[in-house]
Amino acid sequence: WYGEFFPDIPKIKYEGLNSTNPLSFRYYNAEEVVLGKKMKEWLKFSVAFWHTFKADGSDPFGSATKAWPWDKEKDPLQASFKAMHANFEFMSKLGVDRWCFHDRDIAPEGATLAETNKNLDLVAEVALELQKGTSIKPLWGTAQLFKHPRYMHGAATSPNATVFAYAAAQVKKAMEVTQLLGGENYVFWGGREGYQSLVNTDLELEMDNLGRFMKMANDFKHSIGFKGTLLLEPKPQEPTKHQYDWDAATSVAFLHKYGLLEDFKLNIECNHATLAGHSCEHELEVARINGVLGNIDANTGDAQTGWDTDQFLTDPRMATLVMAVVVKNNGLGSGGINFDAKIRRESISTEDLFYGHISGMDALARGLRNAAALKEAGQLDGLIADRYASWKAKGGLGQKIINGKVGFAELEKYALSNPDPGSSMASAKQELAEIYLDMATK
């Protein structure tokens, strides 16, 4: 036993809206039923191991600011065991039963790949042991293919074929460990799969190699009988100038091109969405209508900064719009809601870790309640149904178009013999729609 890491923090409880206790939930009530499912089913929350236990507060202009109790160990393996214990204590107190990890965050790199794999096995055993008798398991695992210098030019997209091989070996192992731990998904975020400059880059070869890599990953998944969902995580840039999985649409194009659209889904991160110039709900919708909405990395960026701040999503309006898409998708399948979010560099107390997660859980629970209220009120759905009525009317022009019964020639005839639609336009009623949205945003 490694001792208690958060001795002053009790189990966080739902106390309702009137609570002034910051160590309580005011919205998140795990067992409460909303739209026919428990909140904890809609909101399969996950703690991100790296941000919560390994982020040390360093940034491009500053060194580490945090001195977490689980980091005081000198031996790297012991430190890893300690951090894993802290993770389970944290989840238990928070009432969350999913976690996400990179291979290299949970276990230290050794002198050789074989040794590194061994380290990973040892830590995985600890995690497995800790999971026993609980409902805890990984929401997803992944391989960290961006931090080590060997990946400086890319992993699957490295100009060096040996690096591709090394990355393949690492993903293979990470997927095995994810399977071992009962992980429900496996994620690919290509932090170095992109370029710094087109001047010295063979874009075509690099993207083709990325396609080859993903195909191998999918083949491997099937070869070991791993049942989890494979997820691409789009991000437009940072650390590279331009990443290959820029956004949801780019990722869909990629999956199409390399014949992988049936085998992968997307992990949408809100901060990545806004860095790509989209709202988070846009990215979620693009994934949803393409049948690839797999998971949400719930965080938010600063609306005025051009880099990934990975803050907890606490804005009620944004949470409502996010959860409205989840409701429309009837949940996230094998996916969940991972807090890919970190407390600020200047937040250096362990209790800040709780404040951050509580604020994120409560915001999304609030968003879920609002999304449910919106749906139950039905005003907004009614407004949309009215707006698109001409496409639904039986035997009408809209249905003929949809059913492929008409072409340009027929449509020209129709246009020539009917009144110009410009003479009877309807309002888009966006302001009214926003009032309906607002009525649900409690």
Query: Taking the complex as a whole, how short is the minimal distance between the CB of residue 1 and a second copy, in angstroms?
Result: 28
Closest approach of a second copy to the CB of residue 341, in Å = 10
Return the number of the residue (182 or 421) whose C-beta is nearest a second copy.
Answer: 421
Q: What SS3 class is residue 230?
A: strand
Q: Phi then psi for 284, rounded to 5 degrees?
A: -65, -40
By C-beta, is 2 or 226 nearer to a second copy?
A: 226
User: Considering the complex, what minimum distance in angstroms separates the CB of residue 386 from a second copy?
Assistant: 9
The phi, psi pair for 311, rounded to 5°, reads -90, 160
Q: What is the DSSP string of 352-410?
A: HHHHHHHHHHHHHHHHHHHHHHHHHH-HHHHHHHHHTGGGTSTTSHHHHHHTT---HHH
Q: What are phi and psi of 269, to 5 degrees?
A: -110, 130
The answer to whether the CB of 163 falls within 8 A of the CB of 150 is yes
Q: Which residue out of 51, 85, 102, 357 is catalytically annotated?
A: 102
Burial of 36: CB neighbours in 10 Å, binned 0-12, 13-18, 19+: exposed
Q: Which residue has the tokens 């790199």?
A: 109
Smallest gap from residue 340 Cβ to a second copy (A): 13
Nearer to a second copy, 41 or 315 (CB): 315
The burial class, CB within 10 Å (0-12 / 13-18 / 19+), for 62 is exposed
Q: Which residue lies nearer to a second copy by CB, 37 or 242? A: 242
Angle of CA points 192, 196, 200, to nearest 5°: 115
Closer residue to a second copy in complex, CB, 129/259? 259
102 annotated active-site: yes
Q: How far is the CB of 219 from a second copy (least distance, A)?
A: 6
Look up residue 50 and give its DSSP letter. Answer: I
CA distance 209 to 190: 13
Residues involved in catalysis: 102
